[in-house]
Chains A and B, each alone.
Chain A
Amino acid sequence: MTGRIRIDGQSIPFADGQTVMQAASGAGVFIPHLCYHPDYAANGSCKLCTCKIDGKQVSSCTTRAVDGQVIESNTEELNSERRALSQMLFVEGSHHCPSCEHSGNCVLQSMAYKLGMTALMFPDFTAGRETDASHPDLLINRDRCIYCHLCVRASRDSDGKDIFSITGRSENKSLAINTDSGLLKDSGITVDDAAANVCPVGCIIKKRDGFSKPIGQRIYDNRPVHYNKIKQPSLPDLDREPGRKLRVATCSLAGCFGCHMSFLDIDERIVELTEHVEFDRSPINDIKTCSTQCDIGLIEGGVCNTENIETLREFRDNCRILIAVGACAISGGVPALRNNVDVRELLEESYVNAVGIDNPQIPTDAELPHILEEVSPIHEVVKVDFFLPGCPPPADAFWQILTDIVEGRQPDLPYDLMQFD
């Protein structure tokens, strides 16, 4: 059957046997997706391509186009569901963009940008699955697998090797290699195989290839034309009489101060900014405590020890609007890479086994804060009102949201200021 379907008001043709997804991409209409690939039979598992077809939500990659179908895709409702699905995939695996070799070339990351995902919202699962580095040219980081089955399909259907399987069920699923050893090195896969090139995330990656292209030249650094704008959470009212300067406090928890450095990169605009804001507690002015009721708190870094918790709670108590700034505050970031390592091993690595240590011992001074078993994003400890992603967020992003708040608007993050690394 051939005919036409109507997607978001636009009438497009389809050919016999085509799915809604195929018809849409044929007509240049973008429907967000992760597990769909034009070369392979549809899988229908990621559910990002869910559309409302004749009033009912179904996967567009597995639904046949039928003449006269009315399809909604680019709507606030569907896009916010897709954003939640992206968030779910981020927390299920360990998707820390700043430390991922695939960042900038990652389809999941790019989808999250398109869907306006600034924060994870759900607690991280700290996956801790096995890594396979046995192959000379390829590496599997299972923590990043999103179970899209693309490598399974590519190896079976394009390479004729049938190397990959999915095993386990529920949260215990895992990507398995069809060899007696279970190792990739024995599988006969080569870097040129379709299966080695199809992974949409940083799960199957090429060795000696990571970070080879500078930021700006990677696939998704060129902002795609499709951007489904999504409403960001609205901020609490600042209740401010005209002319009063906003009080801004900032701090860095388990972070590198890179976000603060980026903030200072607004350069001479800081002069204009100080006409509207005054700084409270901040490393910029070296004030150590939040003095009075602040308007905005900018938190860089994740929560790694008891001192971080105290600081964070002080900020929450004293700031009307609390903003998580950068990857570490939002997801734990680089420090969270330690989350699968036992605390003793961490302490020994730092205080006993490290190079250049004179008196190797784990410090026991009662004054020192205890380190937490895991580094947490700040929204798991206090309520956070807004998230400013990036590692670091660009200076323009700081400028944008601060001027928005100063001028009494709900802050908005344009797509070209959205980045996770």
Chain B
Amino acid sequence: MVAVADSLVHDQLAKYRRDPAFVLQMLRHLQLEQNIITSGDIHVLSESLNLPRAKINGLIDFYSFLHRRPRGRYDVYFSDSITDHMLGSREQANLLCELLGVELGQPSANGAVTVSLTSCTGLCERGPGVLVNGTAIDRMDDARTREMASLIEANTPLEDWPLEWFVINDALRKKGPLLRYEPTRGKALERAIAIGPEGVLKDLETSGLRGCGGAGFPTWRKWQICRSSNRRQRYVVCNADEGEPGTFKDRALLHGYADTLLEGMTACAITVGASKGFIYLRHEYEFLRERLQHRIQRHRDTNLLGRNILGHHGINFDVEIFMGAGSYVCGEESALIESLEGKRGIPRVRPPFPVTHGYKGKPTVVNNVETFCYAAGILEHGPDFLAHAGDQPGWKLLSICGDCKSPGIYEIPLGTPIRDVLEACGAHGTQAVQVGGPGGTLVSSAEFDRHISYADLNTAGSFIIFDESRDMLDVAVNFTHFFAHESCGFCTPCRVGTKLMVQMADKVADGHGARLDIEQMQRLNKLMTQASHCGLGQRAAVPILTTYEKFTDSFERRMEDVEYKPAFDVEAAIERSRQIVSEEALSR
């Protein structure tokens, strides 16, 4: 057993050329194979990579899916995202625990299984989602959960589980230029090479393409800044760490449009002068990895990647997949680069931005999956690719989930009002939509004329619908917990603030809220918004307070109209003392 484990860690060291930047990849592999990263593994890695042991521990403890304590041989994570909640994820998790006789988050006594919760798995339109030993299964219901319990009890290897459980389909409901786009392989690249870097930048500028990851920075400008830096080495990174709860459109692109993505990345590399690229793929999308790897290989085999691309001397570019290990904040581009360098995913101080000081300090373009795909379309079809009848050019892929008849992916022109989106997906009796995920904007029914655009409701793609049956306070409490769990803990306002917000939100939800709690939350929100190091802390308190503003009823139902109400629970506080005293009295 020891020998096997030892060879595993040595295999990993060899595979990644003993490069400490890939320690996270090695750790992740060990975790998936052994359900634990042992003290022995850490020792070998520490010696071989010349990394202090505490740094490796620091990495393991930072990423949600890495563990220094044993997990079960079946390591099961139910998605705790709001849409999975609405589809009954907690009930299914509890049912599985009950059937297997385990406690949530605790490995079973025989080491067979651990059932726990995790942040969004990206299966929002087909939830509740679950990960078993890193592999995704969708649509958990009583029947599936019961069968899963039997399979685990019978110690059935994952390969022998029902095959259809692992088939994750994509519901492409409304197609625009990108989803309709059937690329002629190599054409976007041919054209990029033909028109040259300046031509590419010009086309992108004319097209109006902006980053689709949420910030909306003009893509041509980012590429141009990277290109014009005087450093020799540059990098292209695809941000496929789609962690915003409610988003799954990158999942569909990585699945069905991988060739387009690779051409977009390669075109970017040719334009900025990069020879190396990474796809930072979130841990939860392990099920996409193999297929993506095949696509990369096919691109190499057909000379769309590798040396002298398409026969053009000196045009070299290759792409490597880098797996995340469970951290929402790594979706922020500078944190993603830290993670890519094998470190804890803590956002850097900006400026300087990654486009001038990125991976290993070199100029790096980090773009979202969708952005690279659109770029490929523009290069093949020209700058009119994004044009439509509306007055602002550009399209957006929306991941629509929650309360509607047809959840899935909708490609809509920028400027589309919320009302039209709701109609398209068959939503009825809608009281609110969360646009852009927990960190985005809560839109109430009075505001359904607002539209999806960079100027109004900006979104990386998340579009969660809540009908009138939902208690909006519960939704906000879920988001508040999410941020506290995902805070990297670097800065004071976010690390402590998110936890305080959880305490106060829970206090109100439990019926102990008073006016002073609301005032305290408002003060704290102001502090977190203005002083936090990155967007997570800046947005973490917004959901609960926006909900208070727009859905005051949901708060007042659970609050008395008083200034102060303590959360202090006397009965709970003396429970232990009571128990001891009664034990003592009985024993005499």
**Complex Cα spacing A347 to B582, Å:** 13
Selecting from B125-133, B169-177, B495-503, the interface stretch reads B495-503
Contacts of B62 in A (CB 8 A): 167-169
Asked if B405 lies at the interface with its beta carbon under 8 angstroms from chain A, I say no
Asked whether A178 lies within 8 Å of B484 as measured between CB atoms, the reply is no
A85 CA to B523 CA, complexed, in Å:
12
Please choose the segment from B79-87, B200-208, B412-420, B568-576 that sits at the chain A interface, where 4 or more of its residues have CB less than 8 A away. Answer: B568-576
Shortest distance between the CB of B588 and any CB in chain A (Å): 8
Interface residues of A in 268-324 (CB under 8 A from B): 306, 309
Q: Tell me which residues across on chain B come within 8 A of A123, comparing CB atoms.
A: 500, 503, 567
Q: Is A172 among interface residues, defined by CB-CB distance under 8 A?
A: yes
Docked-complex contact B580 and A347, CB < 8 angstroms: yes
Contacts of B567 in A (CB 8 A): 123, 380
Q: Which B residues touch A374, using CB under 8 A?
A: 573
Complex interface: chain A residues within 8 A of B485 (CB): 170
- B578 to A, closest residue via Cβ: A370
Verify if A94 is at the interface (C-beta below 8 Å from B).
no
Proximity string of chain B (324-363) to chain A, C-beta cutoff 8 Å, 1 when within and 0 when not = 0001000000000000000010000100000000000000
A407 interface contact, C-beta 8 A: no
CB-contacts of B476-531 with A (<8 A): 484-493, 495-500, 503, 516, 520, 523-524, 526-527, 530-531
Once bound together, how far apart are the Cα atoms of A176 and B485, in whole Å? Answer: 21
For A88, the chain B residues whose CB sits under 8 A away are 492-493, 496-497, 500
- Contact yes or no, B580 A162, CB < 8 A: no
B349–A44 CB distance below 8 A: yes
A-B contact count (CB 8 A): 162
Chain B residues, Cβ within 8 Å of A220: none
Question: How many residues does chain B have at the interface if contact means C-beta atoms less than 8 Å apart?
Answer: 58
Q: Which of A57, A84, A179, A344 has the most CB of B within 10 A?
A: A84
The answer to whether A92 has its CB under 8 Å from any CB of chain B is yes
Q: Shortest Cβ distance from B317 into chain A, in angstroms?
A: 34
Q: What is the CA–CA distance of A62 and B350 in the complex, to the nearest angstrom?
A: 9
B573 interface neighbour in A47, A62, A373, Cβ under 8 Å: A373
In the assembled complex, the Cα of A337 lies from the Cα of B292 at a distance in Å of 55
Distance (whole angstroms) from the CB of B587 to the closest CB of chain A: 9
Contact A47 B61 (CB under 8 A): no
B499 pairs with A125, CB closer than 8 A: yes
Distance in angstroms from A195 CB to nearest chain B CB is 14
A152 to chain B, nearest CB (A): 10
On whether the beta carbons of A81 and B489 are closer than 8 Å, the reply is: no
Contacts known (A81-B527, A167-B58, A173-B495); A380 close to B566, Cβ less than 8 A: yes
In the assembled complex, B184 has its CB within 8 A of some CB on chain A: no
Decide if B491 touches A376 in the complex (CB within 8 Å).
Answer: no
Closest Cβ–Cβ distance, residue A169 to chain B (whole Å): 5
Across the interface, do B500 and A122 meet the contact criterion of CB distance under 8 Å? yes
Does B581 contact A370, Cβ atoms closer than 8 Å? yes
Q: Does A205 contact B (CB under 8 A)?
A: no
Interface members, chain A 347-364 (any B CB < 8 Å):
347, 361-364
Q: Which of A85, A121, A174 contacts B492 (CB 8 A)?
A: A85
Binds A, one of B48-56, B144-152, B228-236, B381-389: B48-56
CA distance A167 to B343 in the complex (A): 11
Picked from B61, B524, B574, the residue with its CB within 8 Å of the CB of A84 is B524
1/0 per residue, CB under 8 A from B, across A40-57: the answer is: 001011111010000001
Q: Are B495 and A176 in contact (CB under 8 A)?
A: no
* Residue from A177, A180, A373 within 8 A of B576 (CB atoms): A373
Q: B585 contacts the other chain (Cβ, under 8 Å)?
A: yes
User: Does A364 contact B584, Cβ atoms closer than 8 Å?
Assistant: yes
Interface residues of B in 446-491 (CB under 8 A from A): 484-491
8 Å CB contact of A171 from B58, B61, B484, B566: B484
Most buried by A among B489, B492, B499, B520: B492
Kindly report which residue of chain B lies nearest to residue A84, judged by CB atoms: B527
Digitize B35-53: 1 where CB-to-A-CB distance is under 8 Å, 0 elsewhere. 0000000010000000011
Is the CB of A406 closer than 8 A to any CB of chain B? Answer: no
Of the candidates B52, B493, B500, B523, the one whose C-beta lies within 8 Å of that of A47 is B493
Bound complex: CA of A164 vs CA of B52, how far in Å?
10
Residue A381 is within 8 A (CB to CB) of chain B in the complex:
yes
Question: Would you call B110 an interface residue if the criterion is a C-beta within 8 Å of the partner chain's C-beta atoms?
Answer: no
B58 engages A50 (CB within 8 Å): no
Chain A residues within 8 Å of B33, by CB: none
Q: Measured between C-beta atoms, what is the minimum distance from B538 to chain A in Å?
A: 10
Q: Could you tell me if B498 and A170 are in contact, using CB atoms closer than 8 angstroms?
A: yes
Residue among A47, A85, A122, A342 facing the most chain B CB atoms (10 A cut-off)? A47
A165 within 8 A of B: yes
Which residue of B is nearest A162, CB measured? B52
Q: Which residues of B contact A59 (CB under 8 A)?
A: 349
Assuming the contacts A47-B491, A81-B530, A169-B489, asked whether A182 and B496 have C-beta atoms less than 8 A apart, the reply is no
Most buried by B among A92, A164, A171, A344: A171
Q: Given the complex of chains A and B, what is the CA–CA distance between A179 and B53 in angstroms?
A: 6
- What separation, in Å, do the CA atoms of A361 and B526 have in the docked complex? 53
Q: Answer yes or no: B161 CB below 8 A from chain A CBs.
A: no
Q: Is the CB of A45 within 8 A of B577?
A: no
Within 8 A of A (CB), among B49-102: 52-55, 57-58, 61-62
- Contact A364-B495, Cβ < 8 Å, known A147-B489, A343-B576: no
Measured CA separation A107–B527 after assembly (Å): 22
Residues in chain B near residue A180, CB distance under 8 A = 43, 53
- A177–B61 contact, CB under 8 A? no
Per the 8 Å Cβ criterion, residues 339-397 of A in contact with B are 342-344, 347, 361-364, 370-374, 376, 380-383
**Nearest chain A residue, comparing its CB with the CB of B63:** A169
Smallest distance from the beta carbon of B66 to chain A beta carbons, Å? 11
The answer on a CB contact under 8 Å between B530 and A50 is yes
A173 vs B568: C-alpha distance when bound (angstroms): 27
* Distance to closest chain A CB from B64 (angstroms): 9
Q: Does A166 contact B (CB under 8 A)?
A: yes
- The contact string, 1 if C-beta is below 8 Å from chain B, for chain A 98-133, is 000000000000000000000001110100000000
Q: Is B563 an interface residue (CB 8 A)?
A: yes
A165 and B55 contact, CB distance less than 8 A: yes
Which residues of A29-84 are within 8 A (CB) of B?
42, 44-48, 50, 57, 59, 62, 81, 84
Residues of A close to B16: CB separation below 8 A:
none
Query: Which A residues touch B573, using CB under 8 A?
Result: 372-374, 376
Residues of the B chain whose Cβ atoms lie less than 8 Å from the Cβ of A347:
580
Q: Does A89 contact B (CB under 8 A)?
A: yes
Inter-chain pairs besides A176-B54, A362-B580, 19 sampled, C-beta below 8 Å: A42-B349, A47-B493, A62-B349, A88-B496, A147-B490, A162-B52, A169-B327, A176-B57, A176-B58, A309-B570, A343-B576, A344-B576, A347-B580, A361-B584, A373-B573, A376-B568, A376-B573, A381-B568, A383-B563
Instruction: Show 30 residue pairs from A and B whose CB-CB distance is below 8 angstroms, ordered by the A residue.
Output: A44-B533, A45-B492, A48-B492, A50-B531, A92-B499, A123-B567, A125-B499, A147-B490, A147-B492, A162-B52, A166-B58, A167-B54, A167-B61, A168-B62, A169-B327, A169-B488, A170-B499, A172-B489, A173-B495, A174-B61, A176-B54, A176-B57, A176-B58, A178-B52, A178-B53, A306-B574, A344-B576, A370-B577, A382-B564, A383-B563
Q: State the 9 A-B residue pairs at the shortest beta-carbon distance, nearest first.
A: A178-B52, A383-B564, A88-B496, A167-B58, A370-B574, A176-B54, A165-B54, A370-B577, A372-B573
| Chain A residues packing against B (C-beta within 8 Å) | 42, 44-48, 50, 57, 59, 62, 81, 84-85, 88-89, 91-92, 121-123, 125, 146-147, 162, 164-174, 176-180, 182, 306, 309, 342-344, 347, 361-364, 370-374, 376, 380-383
